[in-house]
């Protein structure tokens, strides 16, 4: 475990008596480093990544997240802050960006990486991008071509994790095998260091794992919606499969698109399409939001920090989305401490008592 010499003093506030130990040879009681620090890394296949990454779905998305090109300076400052504080995993996709801005997320991420001033930190960044299973991508070669286009937008020679964005097993089974072969091809050609999948249910996850293993390609990661709002039987079964097969689970939407931030109420809804979803779900989240609030107050944390920390304690790598420096700073506060077993049980009981749950991604397979 390597620790940075320049320790951000703000993170020392996360210590408590349960985190301390003493060394007999010293006249004072030193601080014991908690299990997760922003500059501590965890293994994900052949890669070494931060225990939390950041998602870039909002970068270029005007419809859902209200992106405007005038935001680019703030986005770059947000990215720089994250990297400076030890975050090296960034998730994106070739489909992120609406209309004429399709691919904008990858372009911005590539630009920010190239312009980041620290060479060592820049070299340590791991890009996880997803390739859409568009209906016109019918051959392995077309999938490899999509990967090469992402490499160009990202301005890199090799992608950290190349991920299949969703499975076509539910509606176009013949296309699925071609996409799997596309992952194999981009791995064998050295275009990606590792491969992963997104929105795969437990049964299909086992199938692709076995198929790739037979081809000599390890499955590094599985990305699914996973949070206190998305902890149903399927999601927990996916986690069990990942644990048994040595696959890292990447948790997207760990804050339920913002519903677990405490920022919104039935009378104070977000702009855009999210408002419809929030109107349906928020009224039934009172037990969960109350428990998050109680623990946050007791811990001196915020609701988002508690919700993200729950994901980390469940053994996943959460990737909350970021658009502002304030969001990045708050999300970083989810690191450096851990919920107790009693707190985990309290949150999970409150989640089970909340009558509303997050709608699962329609592309997730069984």
Please say if 11 is a catalytic residue: no
In the structure encoding, which two tokens stand for residue 12, read together? 């020392």
- Is residue 96 within 8 A of residue 105, CB to CB? The reply is yes
- Look-up: residue for tokens 């997803």? 130
SS3 248: strand
Instruction: Outline where DSSP puts E strands in 56-138.
Output: 89-93, 126-131
Residue among 96, 187, 200, 264 flagged as catalytic: 96
Residues in Cβ contact with 4 at an 8 Å cutoff, skipping those fewer than 6 apart = 39, 86
Distance, in Å, from the CA atom of 152 to the CA atom of 91, rounded to the nearest integer, reads 16
In the structure encoding, which two tokens stand for residue 358, read together? 């997050």
Distance, in Å, from the CA atom of 60 to the CA atom of 65, rounded to the nearest integer, reads 8
SS3 237: helix
Backbone angles phi, psi at 268, to 5 degrees: -130, 90
Q: 197: part of which helix (H) or strand (E)?
A: strand 192-198
Distances (CA, A) of 141 to 136, 210, 218, 299: 12, 22, 20, 52
Distances (CA, A) of 349 to 68, 85, 344: 40, 33, 9
- Is residue 197 within 8 A of residue 245, CB to CB? The reply is no
SS3 73: helix
Q: 239: part of which helix (H) or strand (E)?
A: helix 233-245
In the structure encoding, which two tokens stand for residue 93, read together? 């996709």
Q: Point out the residues that are catalytic.
A: 96
């Amino acid at each position: 475990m390597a620790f940075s010499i320049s320790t951000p003093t703000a993170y020392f506030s996360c210590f408590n008596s349960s985190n301390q130990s003493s060394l007999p040879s010293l006249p004072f009681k030193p601080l014991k480093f908690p299990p997760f620090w922003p500059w501590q890394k965890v293994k994900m296949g052949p890669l070494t990544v931060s225990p939390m990454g950041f998602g870039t779905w909002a970068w270029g998305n005007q419809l859902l997240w209200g992106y405007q090109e005038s935001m680019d300076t703030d986005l770059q400052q947000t990215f720089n802050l994250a990297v400076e504080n030890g975050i090296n995993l960034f998730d994106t996709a070739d489909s992120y960006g609406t209309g004429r801005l399709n691919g904008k997320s990858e372009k911005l991420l590539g630009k920010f990486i190239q312009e980041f001033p620290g060479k060592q930190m820049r070299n340590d960044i791991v890009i996880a991008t997803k390739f859409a299973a568009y209906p016109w991508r019918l051959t392995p070669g077309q999938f490899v071509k999509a990967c090469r286009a992402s490499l160009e937008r990202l301005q890199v020679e090799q992608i950290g994790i190349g991920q299949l964005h969703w499975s076509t097993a539910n509606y176009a089974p013949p296309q699925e095998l071609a996409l799997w072969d596309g992952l194999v091809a981009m791995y064998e050609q050295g275009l990606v260091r590792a491969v992963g999948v997104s929105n795969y249910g437990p049964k299909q996850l086992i199938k692709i794992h076995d198929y790739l293993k037979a081809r000599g390609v390890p499955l590094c990661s599985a990305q699914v919606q996973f949070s206190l709002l998305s902890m149903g039987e399927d999601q927990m079964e996916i986690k069990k499969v990942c644990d048994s097969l040595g696959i890292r689970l990447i948790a997207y939407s760990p804050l339920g698109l913002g519903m677990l931030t405490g920022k919104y109420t039935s009378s104070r809804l977000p702009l855009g399409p999210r408002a419809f979803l929030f109107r349906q779900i928020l009224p039934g989240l009172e037990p969960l939001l109350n428990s998050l609030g109680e623990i946050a107050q007791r811990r001196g944390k915020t609701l988002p920090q508690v919700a993200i920390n729950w994901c980390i304690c469940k053994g996943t790598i959460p990737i909350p989305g970021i658009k502002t420096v304030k969001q990045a700073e708050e999300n970083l506060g989810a690191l450096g401490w851990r919920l107790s077993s009693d707190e985990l049980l309290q949150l999970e009981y409150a989640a089970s008592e909340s009558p509303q749950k997050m709608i699962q991604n329609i592309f997730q397979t069984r």
